[in-house]
Amino acid sequence: MLNAINPFDALMDITARPQTVFVRGEGSYLWDDTGKRYLDFIQGWAVNCLGHSPLCIADALSAQAKRLITPSPAYYNDASLKLAKALVDKSCFDQVFFANSGAEANEGAIKLARKYGSLHKGGAYEIITFEGGFHGRTLATMSASGKKAFEPLFEPKVPGFRKARLNDLDSVKALINANTIAVMLEPIQGEAGVWPATDQFLQELRALTHEHGLLLIFDEIQTGMGRTGKLFHYEHADIEPDIMTLGKGIGGGVPLAALLATDKASCFAHGDQGGTFNGNPLMCAVGLAVLDEVSKPSFLKSAADTGLLLEGELQKLSARHGLGDVRGRGLLLALDLKLPIGAAIVAQALEAGLLLNSPQPDALRFMPALNVTREEIAEMIDGLDAILTRAGAARLVA
């Protein structure tokens, strides 16, 4: 057993983790070092859009690793050129900068907005973000986030972020001043517990930002790459943001992220932005393989249909156990538990070989592979049903 020799203490203790050690993954399943199998509805935190270790990623990695790993970001490489062109062709954006994590892509978006403000709006630098929002764990992205737990941490924060309330246009209007340069949001607040912005709010934000000459920045790190049943979430609202960030799904499990901007917003000059591993061919080759698969209309249709199936099954489960609403879109869904029992359910699910996430004490979040099957959904629902039945029985007894 690897457990016996695994040096847990050599890793910084940055979060509470069960002592399970994963050693293999395939599709919707993971195996630990004792051989126990788990059905995974977390998938690397909405990362493995094609499931664990899909062949197309393994093939892209090994072929690219044999050909070219990195020539340095000071030179062009064919894989990053192809991926940038493919992203531009499939979106409303004109240029791409590749990064290694979502937080880094968002840092880039914040810098791009500030650069735009210095060039076109008299040095305006403030960005309106949202209560409950999550944009990453660098200092600037923590400052941009509206996560309560971040508030006391790492003071002083990076200045220039004001928080409005999601789906409340007046709260945005009230924060606009001469220093404002952009509005930045996740179209569905994932870490906060899957709280969607309405399409109407997104359309009104677009109109408002146009009216005031502000950039609209969509953080699609969780919602992009087919997660909500369209390649990018902004398509649901039929609007075009000025800047978008992608992460998680774009690498299908490898560290790849992207900052996309329209011609108007893409204003970095030499020296403004960079990074040793940015646009390295190894990761970009994977991004191309993932995008090829995920952007197929048939794949997106199937992910949207599967999302509706999961939503329906969760609604039935909720009705059976007297729970609350199911919210979200596509394959980014949450079930309102009405009670702070999320952590207990997650722990029991782990025991039962089912990986679930509780982003808030009273909610479960579901973010399976986009190619999760009907049978795997049925297996997850059965497992959760059994746990909820036991939890209900325990409440009756107590």
Active site residue 292: no
HSE value, Cβ hemisphere, 13 Å, CA-based, for 155: 3
Residue 136 engages ligand PLP in binding (rule: CB under 6 A): yes
Residue 134 engages ligand PLP in binding (rule: CB under 6 A): yes
Residue 306 engages ligand PLP in binding (rule: CB under 6 A): no
**Beta carbon nearer to ligand PLP, 80 or 106:** 106
Active site residue 134: yes
Amino acid sitting at position 214? L
**Beta carbon nearer to ligand PLP, 255 or 392:** 255
Residue 219 engages ligand PLP in binding (rule: CB under 6 A): yes
Residue 278 engages ligand PLP in binding (rule: CB under 6 A): no
Residue 142 engages ligand PLP in binding (rule: CB under 6 A): no
Contacts of 59 (CB under 8 A, 6+ apart): 289
- By CB under 6 A, what part of segment 180-209 binds ligand PLP? 186, 190-191
Structure tokens at 163: 């928080």
What's the chain's Rg over C-alpha atoms?
21
Contacts of 62 (CB under 8 A, 6+ apart): none
According to CB under 6 A, which one of 27, 102, 224, 368 is a site residue for ligand PLP?
A: 102
Least Å from the CB of residue 104 to ligand PLP:
7
According to CB under 6 A, which one of 96, 103, 140, 246 is a site residue for ligand PLP?
A: 103
Per annotation, catalytic residue among 242, 248, 268, 366: 248
Contacts of 381 (CB under 8 A, 6+ apart): 313, 314, 317
According to CB under 6 A, which one of 44, 51, 247, 330 is a site residue for ligand PLP?
A: 247
**Beta carbon nearer to ligand PLP, 126 or 191:** 191
**Beta carbon nearer to ligand PLP, 64 or 101:** 101
Active site residue 248: yes
Structure tokens at 294: 């995920």
Amino acid sitting at position 145? S
Residue burial 171-207, b: 16+ Cβ < 10 Å; e: rest: bbeeebeeebbbbbbbbbbbbbbbbbbebebbebbbe
Contacts of 3 (CB under 8 A, 6+ apart): 19, 21, 33, 34
Q: Which residues are catalytic?
A: 134, 219, 248
Residues at the contact surface with ligand PLP, assessed by CB under 6 A: 45, 101-103, 106, 134-136, 186, 190-191, 219, 221-222, 247
